[in-house]
């Protein structure tokens, strides 16, 4: 099934409820960030020693029963715009050990996952030791299998209480986030290899550049979402209610940037050795025609975050496709192959965005998400091979890329689109929760084992 922007529009307010666009060591401090080895000959197919090869998930998309999160609430509204609720999802909350073992058995050496704030602090100021212990067990499971764990502290979803207090529109939000970072790091920090405060905090700005075919001229995904918020507040009888993607763009970036800075300081106050950064949704923007607003988009969406990331230990690059910018974003070429998300199948986008992020930030790059939604796993194989050829070209030209983390480890809950899009290296039977690795998993695993294309 192909989902396109039209379907997205028809789902209306669901847009407001959280959508991943993709459009995702134990040393000391920035200087001690473990460097991938250098010296792979440019003409060989090998990658640097200690290159991170992994797969990613996000808590809400795989754990199941994340009942204290804002997303759970929105999924269960009478006129929810989510196609279906997350429910048990992949029951990763209970089956994490099996999933981590599968990932390691494939030959990968890194696992990126998120810890869920709504579980760790289900009521304001109440921290659950039992839930923190859960994430400690996950980290232990990674170390037992010699996997490098990369932990995201906030991957879209928020505790309900935080959403009811205005989420990132609330001036108190950055301090609340920093407190959560500190408490979590105190419990988990000795086992965390890399920390990302936020997943794709640039997404709400990116939405301004996504045009919907059926909207009046000048409308975009961001204005559509803003229009939904009033209805949501009414439905919930919650005048302050907000969320990651429906926040007021005049207030949220500033608060999220402050939250990143304070969160990073909180993490480092517990263990300065942890390399900290954030991950950005970066589309491979390409100017089209004489009046392209390409430069305007770059300045608006990415520049503020690149500037912030200059002070970080790494930048997480998350890329899925390209975007052609004329006076507005134009659709993919007529004959272009589309993925299940409606995007153009365009694996070369990754090479381009790695170059951009590296040039603009000057810090090491980790590809923290890259992948394709498709029922046809042979297309995933081609996508991976072409994307990795691009990563290799970057490395050969001296760009400091430390790892490639594929999105996603398992077929999972793709936000408003429910379980339809298939991003996984591993299929999941929704009835039995049985896992079945796809051929693409074996192919990526083999590349990882050989550390070579």
| In the complex, minimum distance from the CB of residue 56 to ligand BGC, in angstroms, rounded to a whole number | 8
**Binding to ligand BGC in span 69-128, by CB under 6 A:** none
Figure out which of the listed residues 62, 281, 365, 425 binds ligand BGC, where binding follows CB under 6 A: 281
- From 21-29, 62-70, 260-268, 398-406, give the range in contact with ligand BGC by CB under 6 A: 21-29
Figure out which of the listed residues 33, 58, 102, 257 binds ligand BGC, where binding follows CB under 6 A: 58
Half-sphere exposure of 43 (CA within 13 A, CB side): 0
Q: 315: which residues sit within 8 A by CB, 6+ positions away?
A: 277, 278, 279, 280, 306, 309, 357, 358, 361, 363, 364, 365, 366
Per CB under 6 A, 283 contacts ligand BGC: no
385-424 footprint of ligand BGC as x/- string (CB under 6 A):
----------------------x------x--------x-
Figure out which of the listed residues 3, 20, 302, 323 binds ligand BGC, where binding follows CB under 6 A: 20
Per CB under 6 A, 277 contacts ligand BGC: no
Bridge-based pairing state of the strands 194-199 and 314-319: unpaired
Figure out which of the listed residues 199, 228, 252, 255 binds ligand BGC, where binding follows CB under 6 A: 199
- From 19-27, 264-272, 395-403, 445-453, give the range in contact with ligand BGC by CB under 6 A: 19-27
Structure token digits, residue 259: 């939250």
Task: For tokens 């050990």, name the residue.
Answer: 97
Closer by beta carbon to ligand BGC, 36 or else 409: 409
Per CB under 6 A, 201 contacts ligand BGC: no
Marked catalytic residue, from 63, 131, 200, 283: 200
| In the complex, minimum distance from the CB of residue 446 to ligand BGC, in angstroms, rounded to a whole number | 24
Q: In what order do the strands lie in the sheet with 322-325?
A: 284-287, 322-325, 329-330
| In the complex, minimum distance from the CB of residue 216 to ligand BGC, in angstroms, rounded to a whole number | 27
Task: State the Cα–Cα distance between residues 292 and 212, nearest whole angstrom.
Answer: 18
Q: 175: which residues sit within 8 A by CB, 6+ positions away?
A: 262
Figure out which of the listed residues 22, 243, 364, 437 binds ligand BGC, where binding follows CB under 6 A: 22
**Burial letters for 328-366: b for 16+ Cβ neighbours within 10 Å, e otherwise?**
ebeebeeeeebbbbbbbbbbebbbbbbbbbbebbebbbb
Per CB under 6 A, 243 contacts ligand BGC: no
Peptide bond into 76 cis (omega under 30): no
Question: Cα separations (Å) of 119 from 57, 76, 129, 153, 407?
Answer: 16, 18, 10, 12, 23
| In the complex, minimum distance from the CB of residue 163 to ligand BGC, in angstroms, rounded to a whole number | 18
Half-sphere exposure of 161 (CA within 13 A, CB side): 13
| In the complex, minimum distance from the CB of residue 250 to ligand BGC, in angstroms, rounded to a whole number | 23
Main-chain phi, psi angles of 443, to 5 degrees? -70, -45
Angle between helices 129-144 and 92-106 (to 10 degrees): 20
- From 14-22, 236-244, 246-254, 305-313, give the range in contact with ligand BGC by CB under 6 A: 14-22
334 is catalytic: no
Give the residue numbers marked as catalytic: 200
Residues that bind ligand BGC (CB under 6 A): 20-22, 24, 58, 61, 199-200, 281, 318, 369, 407, 414, 423
């Amino acid at each position: 099934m192909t989902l396109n922007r039209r379907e997205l529009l028809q789902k209306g307010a669901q847009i407001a409820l959280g959508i991943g666009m993709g459009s995702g060591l134990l040393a000391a401090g920035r200087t001690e960030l473990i460097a991938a080895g250098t010296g792979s000959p440019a003409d060989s197919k090998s990658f640097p020693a200690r290159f991170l090869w992994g797969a990613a998930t996000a808590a809400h998309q795989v754990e199941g029963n994340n009942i204290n999160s804002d997303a759970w609430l929105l999924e269960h509204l009478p006129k929810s715009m989510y196609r279906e609720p997350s429910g048990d999802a992949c029951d990763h909350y209970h089956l994490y050990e099996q999933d981590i073992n599968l990932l390691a058995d494939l030959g990968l050496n890194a696992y990126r996952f998120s810890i869920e704030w709504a579980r760790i602090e289900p009521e304001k100021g109440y921290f659950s030791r039992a839930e923190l212990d859960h994430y400690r067990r996950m980290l232990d499971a990674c170390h037992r299998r010699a996997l490098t764990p990369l932990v995201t502290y906030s991957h879209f979803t928020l505790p309900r209480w935080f959403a009811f207090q205005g989420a990132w529109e609330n001036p108190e939000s950055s301090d609340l986030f920093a407190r959560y970072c500190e408490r979590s790091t105190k419990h988990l920090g000795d086992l965390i290899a890399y920390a990302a405060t936020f997943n794709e905090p640039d997404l709400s700005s990116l939405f301004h550049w996504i045009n919907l075919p059926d909207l009046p001229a000048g409308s975009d995904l961001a204005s559509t979402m803003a229009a939904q918020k009033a209805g949501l507040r009414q439905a919930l009888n919650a005048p302050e209610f907000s969320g990651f993607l429906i926040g007021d763009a005049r207030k949220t970036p500033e608060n999220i940037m402050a939250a990143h800075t304070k969160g990073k300081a909180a993490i480092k106050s517990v263990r300065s050795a942890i390399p900290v950064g954030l991950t950005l949704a970066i589309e491979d923007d390409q100017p089209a025609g004489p009046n392209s607003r390409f430069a305007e988009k770059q300045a608006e969406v990415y520049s503020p975050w690149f500037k912030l990331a200059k002070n970080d230990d790494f930048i997480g690059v998350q890329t899925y496709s390209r975007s052609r910018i004329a006076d507005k974003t134009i659709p993919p070429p007529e004959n272009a192959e589309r993925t299940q998300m409606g995007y153009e199948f365009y694996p070369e986008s990754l090479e381009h965005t790695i170059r951009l992020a590296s040039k603009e930030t000057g810090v090491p790059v980790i590809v923290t998400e890259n992948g394709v939604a498709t029922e046809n796993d042979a297309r995933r194989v081609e996508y991976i091979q072409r994307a990795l050829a691009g990563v290799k070209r970057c490395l050969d030209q001296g760009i400091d890329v430390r790892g490639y983390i594929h999105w996603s480890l398992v077929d999972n809950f793709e936000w408003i689109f429910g379980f339809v899009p298939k991003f996984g290296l591993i299929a999941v039977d929704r009835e039995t929760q049985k896992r079945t690795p796809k051929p693409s998993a074996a192919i990526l695993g083999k590349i990882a084992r050989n550390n070579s294309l």
